[in-house]
Structure 1
Amino acid sequence: MLDQAKAANKPQSGMDGGRRKNMKLKSITRRRLAGASLTAALALPIALSACSKAADEPEKKVLRIPFYDEESFPRSYGDYFAIKFPDVEVQIIPTKDLFGPGKNYYEVYEKLIREQKPDLLITYDSSQYMKWANAGLLLDLEPLARKSKYDLGSFSPAAIAQLKANDEGKLFGLAPELTSYALYYNKDLFDRYGVPYPTNRMSWEETMRLARQFPIDPDPDKRIYGIHEKYWTPFDIVYDIASTDGAEFLSPDGKQMTIRTPLWTKAFRHVVDGFKAGSLYYYYKDGKPIQYGPDETKQMDLFSSSKAAMMISDTEQMFRMKQWGQAELNWDIVTVPVDPANPELTRRFNVAPVYAVSVNAEHVETAWKVVQYFNSEEAAKVKQKTANVLSTRTAFAKTKDGRSLEPFYLLKQKQQADLSYLNMPGSFYQTFQTLTIREIDEAVKGRKTVEEAVNTLQTEGQVLLDKGWTQHNAMIK
């Protein structure tokens, strides 16, 4: 249910059409499954509520909400409102027409908020929430919380810090869930080969050094890979290493390639050398990726089958190990690698969905009650039973299935000064991804040096970027 809201309200351009979309696909799928479970959990209370409803219904309160369309809202939120807000009449302000060629989704959505004056705003895009906050479109929630004695101290400090990381430093929204990643490691493999366990807040340099300490069997079927990322492309791994240290491959305006730098070259060398040596699993053969179906997904989970000593994942990996009968695997987690200059921060932490009240809302009290409920302990308990998600509430942040969740909560979100992916022309990233696959393959096969591959990505990437902007500008004329 709630995942349908996420899909319905998410812009389909820029990085969302490329790397972000690919990396979030598994999370969206899990939320869809969770939504189905939640519908079943709520079905009985709905029936009981209908039976016990008083003959004289209370006067309906109005709540105006921007949403994809009127048909999708009941599928996403209908059960919640039927149970908790039966006296609220929801009026949908459709947003489906905000998408399309030549339209800047963020700009037209802000215009809708200013002109239509909705009450409640819901977004799964934290950068969109930040834009709304900085544009003065949202109501500060702390005065409302004080008036209603709503305990904001029960939320994760890292989650509140992200929500307040706007120009005014105010709390303009609340989010019931967060996505955070950790470095999983197989303790038995580390013990077998005498490799020291990873620790919290390691750098990527230290992480790759650990990965290289596992012996490389000449038989790939018997090989233990130091670290493996099952859903990532080779460039995703390079990007994660480089961006951890603050590198970006585009200028802030999205017009210039900026990949020919020492940080990017070092990141490419880590990955290419790992592929060549066999400490990283190279699953792109001659530029052809694996198509992930159910069989391939299980086959490529090398960590669950004890063929990889480390991997980075969110709580999805816990779910997979239970699903595939690997619940007894002797594993533990630490934080993801960090920038040594900013060891408390990570880009792999995000809160969503965000519920906010429009600054021009006519029905503030009703909107605030809805925000309170979706961020309440009651709602968190339901979600914890039906979905594999992390709660922003500290009461649910301690353990899961007897495992400590602390590493997921230790770091705070690293604010992105560069949001160039929001400005990137929609046609660019897929073509650039194809180019990076080719150039990494050239370097792995020894046909190019890492420096030569990076130079090609800079020059040919700029050609693709210029072409993307030309196509984009032609569409909006």
Structure 2
Amino acid sequence: MKVSNCLATILALSMLVTACSSGGTQGTGKSGENNNKPAELVKREPTEIVFASELGKTPEDFEKEIGDPLRKKFPWLTVTYIERGTGKDITDLLTAGTPPDIYWYVYNRFPNKIQSLGLEYDMTDLIKKYKFDTSRLESASLKALDQFTGGKGIYGLPFVSSTSVMFYNKDIFNKFGVPYPKDGMTWEEVLDLAKKMTRNFDGTSYRGLASFHAYLLRENPQGLKPIDPKTGKASLNTEEWKKLFQSLLRIYEIPGNMRPKSRATNPELQAFAKDQNIAMAVLNNDLNHVKLIPEGMNWDVVSMPTYADKPKTADQASPWMYSIMSTSKQKEAAFEVLSYLLSDEFLLNESKRGVRTPTTNEQIKKAFGSDSPFFKGKNVGAYYYHQSAQPPSVSGNPQIMSLILDADTVVNNKFLDIILDGKDINTALREGDEEINKLIEKAQKK
């Protein structure tokens, strides 16, 4: 009996050890979470992760949208946010020896804000180690940085996929007795409708169509860039760019539909939301833009117009990216944080509050705006009606592509020269090409 009791005791202890061992590694199997976390992370050592951004976000919004959810998910984590402000640019933080662990930005700032400062960090190994499924993110957003990196490595992960949609003022259409626009319209159809909606009525001048043309030029569905990623030379003075200019110039050639005599970045948004004298406006889908629309305004949204040769294709994705800084001493913890911020669980909540995420999950797309009072009763399907256009071919020349922001400014200024000053389109494109090449030549001499 004693031998039998001893064997029973050994067997019980063996089962207990097996049970404890099987519970030692956490893993839920949910997309975006780890199933094989390294021992140092399982121990949950107290760790601080510092965020910073070139994009404005109040500390209150950061805590609500990012900080608090992270602390709830990772109680061992200290989350710190450096708000944008004087003396807190990424260059200032680097000089002070206090760069963040995670930085977020609009993708086209990567060459200037990260790459030129030597802060880029390839997350490929961490993506493999943590089995992060990049196929859950739309390729157009995921590959947005390739034109700056030559497609070698993954230096940022998208968490917002910005694109254009067309807002419209229902009250103006009701006033004129004209049917509302609908999803899937082409530019030709929208321009015809804009002509009908541009008129004087009861002493008020109404414009049929407005646009955020700087964005439409920059993120055009044709994949055109003012600097050729392959040659590193200006590429504005081409037939392709001329056709794009001509297509958007038609908006302002409609009699009575000229935009304000201003070189401001986007006076059209204010005119649509505040003055409320614009019937339709093709604008960026940024949630902050929607928040500018006053309560009580009778508006809705449809998909952005498409070109005949680019059916079902919106503009290029303009994603907001998360990057881990090369200087971070907490890269693994930072990546675990990013894995959660890009998990289906987190992206679903973001989608519900009206953020267009770069998800490929149809259920997350369908949930867009469902918890937001701004989108109640709106045609939210318009936000995912089209697919994003793919970014242009890769380059990988950081010295040249770091000038893309300046080149985009040249493009917008030349477009304004035409519509505001009456400059000939061929002259504007030729001058723009010359200005961009001078920027390139100057950069090469440094």
Question: Is this a same-fold pair by TM over 0.5?
Answer: yes
Is 1:6 the counterpart of 2:53 in the alignment?
yes
Secondary structure of 1:199's match?
Answer: coil
Do the aligned residues in 2 keep the contact of 1:190 with 1:197 (CA within 8 Å)?
Answer: yes
Q: Deviations over 1:48-69 (max 9, x none)?
A: xxxxxxxxxxxxxxxxxxxxxx
* Alpha-carbon contact 1:179-1:390 (below 8 Å) kept: yes
TM-score by length of 2: 0.61
Q: What residue is the counterpart of 1:413 in the other structure?
A: 388
What is residue 326 of structure 1 aligned with on the other side?
296
Q: Name the CA distance, whole Å, in 2 between partners of 1:81 and 1:226.
A: 45
Indicate how the Cα distance of structure 1 residues 83 and 317 shifts in structure 2: closer, same or farther if over 3 A, else same: closer
Describe the shift of the 1:397–1:188 C-alpha distance in structure 2 as closer, same or farther (beyond 3 A). same
Change (3 A) 1:326 1:461: same
Matched-pair contact (CA < 8 Å) for 2:236–2:429: yes
CA positional deviation for 1:407: 1.4
1:302 aligns with 2:272: yes
1:347 lines up with 2:323 in the alignment: no
1:138 is aligned to 124
* CA RMSD in angstroms, aligned pairs only: 5.0
- Which stretches in structure 2 are left out of the alignment for 5+ residues? 1-48, 81-88
Which residue does 1:390 correspond to in 2? 356
Which of the numbers 280, 301, 304 marks the counterpart of 1:336? 304
Distance 2:426 2:404 in 1: 22
State which of 338, 355, 358 in structure 2 corresponds to 1:371.
338
- Aligned mates of 1:122, 1:320 — CA distance in 2: 26
Show the 5 A alignment for 1:139-288: 139=125, 141=127, 144-145=130-131, 159=138, 162-163=141-142, 175-217=158-200, 222-229=204-211, 232=212, 236=214, 239=217, 243-252=220-229, 253-261=231-239, 263-284=240-261, 288=262
Equivalent residue letter for 1:207: V
Residues 423-442 of structure 1: pairs in structure 2 closer than 5 A: 424=403, 430=409, 433-442=412-421
CA displacement at 1:424 relative to structure 2: 3.1
Q: Give the 3 Å change call, closer, same or farther, for CA 3–439 of structure 1 in structure 2.
A: farther
Q: CA deviation at 1:311?
A: 1.0
Q: Displacement of 1:310 after TM fit? A: 0.7
Residue 345 of structure 1 aligns with an amino acid whose one-letter code is T
Could you tell me which runs of 5 or more consecutive residues in structure 1 were left unpaired when the two chains were aligned.
8-27, 43-76, 101-117, 147-151
How far residue 317 of structure 1 moved from its aligned partner, in angstroms, is: 4.0
> How far is the alpha carbon of 1:320 from its aligned partner?
1.7
Q: Deviations over 1:24-79 (max 9, x none)?
A: xxxx34xx14x42343x49xxxxxxxxxxxxxxxxxxxxxxxxxxxxxxxxxx876
In structure 2, the partner of 1:462 is 433
Any idea what the Cα deviations from partners look like across 1:122-149, whole Å, max 9, x if unmatched? 55354659x99xx975137477358xxx
Partner SS, residue 455 of structure 1: helix
Residue pair 1:257, 1:458 contacting (<8 A) in 2 also: no
> What SS is found at the alignment partner of 1:5?
strand
Candidates 269, 289, 298, aligned match of 2:263? 289
| TM-score w.r.t. length of structure 1 | 0.58
Once the two structures are TM-superposed, the CA of residue 248 in structure 1 deviates from its matched residue by: 4.2
Identity of matched residues, %: 19
Change over 3 Å in CA distance of 1:171–1:458 after alignment to 2: closer
Distance (whole Å) between structure 2 residues aligned to residue 210 and residue 204 of structure 1? 10
Distance in 2 (alpha carbons) for counterparts of 1:339 and 1:272? 14
Residue of structure 2 equivalent to 1:49 = none
Task: Measure how far apart 1:375 and its partner are.
Answer: 2.8
Cα distance in 2 for partners of 1:81, 1:303 equals: 35
Contact 1:338 1:346 in 2 (8 A): yes
3-state SS in 1 of match to 2:167? strand
Shift of 1:274: 4.0
| Secondary structure in 1 matching 2:271 | coil
Aligned residues: 361
For 2:188 and 2:160, how far apart are their aligned partners in 1? 31
